[in-house]
Structure 1
Amino acid sequence: MSKLNILTSDQLQRWKDDGYLLIPDFFSPKEVKEMLDEATRLCDEFDIEGHPMTTFKTAADGEHVGDDYFLNSNDKIRYFLEPTSITQPTPDTPAKLLVEPSKSINKIGHALAVLNPVFHRYTLENENIKNVARDLGEQKDPRVLQSMIICKQPKIGGVVPCHNDSTFLYTDPPSAIGCWIALEDCTPSNGCLSFYPGSHKKVRISERFIRDPSGKGTTFIDLPDVPKNEENWDEMDGWQEASCKAGTLVLIHGSVMHKSPPNHSDKTRFIYTFHMIEGDGAVFDKQNWLQPTPEMPFQPLFSGW
């Protein structure tokens, strides 16, 4: 094994065994404050005027967002609302906010790593992130995509059901890795992550999340010749809560099952996250919901903008 840059050999082994890894104090308090202040600024500057009232919902029943505002967000910074932050529209009455705009936001994405100077610095310019990717040894040419702030607003921040990331950011072969950065302390009461350790070794990526061929929104399709998973992961014993302090980097294998509960507390749970896929041989095709553009391709981590 070549010499590691950031990870210890024990951490690397935990990653391989569990499919996720928490690295406390990866970012200093000063660095965390800069990212959190920027996330707060973006929320405070959100202007609801002219917004299409696009919500984001990751539902166990398969209901997902899919309007053009969402689908064309790879090269933009856009705001997606908590479903419970607005009234339901009717043919005669448009949706209206139930809370102030800055408190209505589920997430902001999906091009923060390219377009926002602060998050660019802590993603594409960050040598420690690059060295972690090298230490993992999973990808020869990691490409960064889907960079976003997730807010988990107090009282209304919704549940994220049991899922894995490669279903939503599918490559052939599957290659996604998530980098999830706690900007505030994450606890069971405000919606910390939970993982099923080792599930990445057993899960088959048997379906994928795509743009609906009808041109209306998004849908799931089964992958041919890949048997469905027999396990009902959500109801199995063995889940581990991943409480963590601000500044923690959480690495998430694309096949590991994970989830988070709603935020019933009076505290926010701001995080910044982005994903990496293999750019050397893994195919990211036109069916995927998130698409690069000629002007903004998915950025190579080792030689990004």
Structure 2
Amino acid sequence: MLSENQLSEFKENGCLVIENFKPSEELEELRQAALNLVKDFDTSSHTEAFRESVGWNATEYFLSSGDKIAYFFETNAFGDDGQLTSPPEFCLNKLGHAMHDLHPVFDKFSRDPRLEEILGDIGVDAPEIWQSMYIFKQPRIGDPIDWHQDATYFSTRPQSVKAFWFAIDDATQENGCLWVANKCSPLRQHFVIEEDQTVMKTLDKTPWPDLEDAKPLEVSAGTLILFDGLLPHFSAPNTSDLPRHAYTLHVVDGKSKYSKQNWLQRQDDFPVRGFT
């Protein structure tokens, strides 16, 4: 699947951009599936903002979402009265974290045989899909995501997590595209559960890259971005009038040891799956 040049680029940079990976028909099918989930969601039952649900005080709603389809709002989606300022489809930050196992459209999109082939090319021999997220990045209120490494949340020994990031819309600097460092670096943090509490452990005090050392990934809808779990990346807020929908998958190698302290765990009655 991957050419020698692509393999070399990924090995050197920890990131690979593959344009025109998904056709527009699949993008629109996934978008509509996400919007239908939002349409069926009872907003009165839950009003949690994503940025308030993670970190030092992760909520039970977030921590129990690994085997569900959960709904997280943008921080600025609520007015002073605590009510949504717009219809839910314009206020949600994301859906997560098990659509790939619970919804047929997401399952089909996620288990594209080419993705398994790509993983084999880069040495992931027993892939397990641990997480899926549909990210809305709403116009004007789409929250920024700070510098981080995905292995912080999906630590394995040896480190093996890889991310697939699919552009459902065109991604630009104005609507909050991804920014990446120029290479992988030591894992700085591990988000763990200890004694029923969430803790962000510091593993390495290497500073996050300066902005001038980061590269924006402005890509067209249908593009796939593959990146390593040790690659620092972030996204700026959406300051435009256009959405920046994206879909992500996090995959680890089943031959590695998945940390029992990772926030996302699966129970025996809902085991993690690969591409079958």
Q: Do these two structures clear the TM 0.5 threshold for a shared fold by scoring above it?
A: yes
Cα distance, 1:99 vs structure 2: 2.3
Alignment match, 1:277: 252
Alignment match, 2:208: 232
Q: Separation in 2 of the partners of 1:168 and 1:118?
A: 26
Alignment match, 1:129: 115
Alignment match, 2:106: 119
Cα distance, 1:64 vs structure 2: 5.5
Q: Separation in 2 of the partners of 1:236 and 1:83?
A: 24
Alignment match, 1:164: 149
- Kindly indicate whether the alpha-carbon contact (under 8 Å) linking 1:54 and 1:65 is maintained by their aligned counterparts in 2: no
- Kindly indicate whether the alpha-carbon contact (under 8 Å) linking 1:54 and 1:70 is maintained by their aligned counterparts in 2: no
Q: Separation in 1 of the partners of 2:187 and 2:129?
A: 21
The yes-or-no answer on 1:23 pairing with 2:18 is: yes
- Amino acid of the residue matched to residue 237 of structure 2? P
User: After superposition, where does 1:83-122 map in structure 2 within 5 Å?
Assistant: 83-87=75-79, 95-122=82-109
Partner-residue secondary structure (3-state), 1:273: strand
Among candidates 201, 205, 219, match of residue 199 of structure 2: 219
Q: Separation in 1 of the partners of 2:251 and 2:55?
A: 25
Partner-residue secondary structure (3-state), 1:147: strand
Partner-residue secondary structure (3-state), 1:185: coil
User: After superposition, where does 1:62-81 map in structure 2 within 5 Å?
Assistant: 63=55, 66-81=58-73
Partner-residue secondary structure (3-state), 2:199: strand
Q: Separation in 2 of the partners of 1:129 and 1:230?
A: 32
Deviations 1:135-164 (A, max 9, x none): 222x12111011110110111001111111
Deviations 1:40-65 (A, max 9, x none): 222333320222x2211189xx8466
The yes-or-no answer on 1:191 pairing with 2:176 is: yes
- Kindly indicate whether the alpha-carbon contact (under 8 Å) linking 2:147 and 2:208 is maintained by their aligned counterparts in 1: no
Partner-residue secondary structure (3-state), 2:258: coil
Q: Which runs of 5+ in 1 are unaligned?
A: 1-5
Deviations 1:253-282 (A, max 9, x none): 0001111100011111111111101111x2
Q: Separation in 1 of the partners of 2:85 and 2:260?
A: 37
- Kindly indicate whether the alpha-carbon contact (under 8 Å) linking 2:129 and 2:274 is maintained by their aligned counterparts in 1: yes
Cα distance, 1:102 vs structure 2: 1.7
Partner-residue secondary structure (3-state), 1:268: coil
Cα distance, 1:185 vs structure 2: 0.5
Q: Which has the higher helix share?
A: 2
Greater CA radius of gyration, 1 or 2? 1
**RMSD across aligned positions (CA):** 1.9
User: After superposition, where does 1:171-182 map in structure 2 within 5 Å?
Assistant: 171-182=156-167
- Kindly indicate whether the alpha-carbon contact (under 8 Å) linking 2:154 and 2:259 is maintained by their aligned counterparts in 1: no
Among candidates 49, 56, 60, match of residue 55 of structure 1: 49
For this pair of structures, how many residues does the alignment match? 276
Q: Separation in 1 of the partners of 2:125 and 2:57?
A: 32
Q: Which has the higher strand share?
A: 2
Q: Separation in 2 of the partners of 1:231 and 1:122?
A: 36
Structure 1, 251-260 or 67-76: larger mean CA deviation: 67-76
Alignment match, 1:3: none
- Amino acid of the residue matched to residue 45 of structure 1? D
Deviations 1:203-226 (A, max 9, x none): 21242001252x34x221234xxx
- Amino acid of the residue matched to residue 148 of structure 1? M
Cα distance, 1:249 vs structure 2: 0.7
- Amino acid of the residue matched to residue 155 of structure 1? R
Partner-residue secondary structure (3-state), 2:201: strand
- Amino acid of the residue matched to residue 28 of structure 2? K
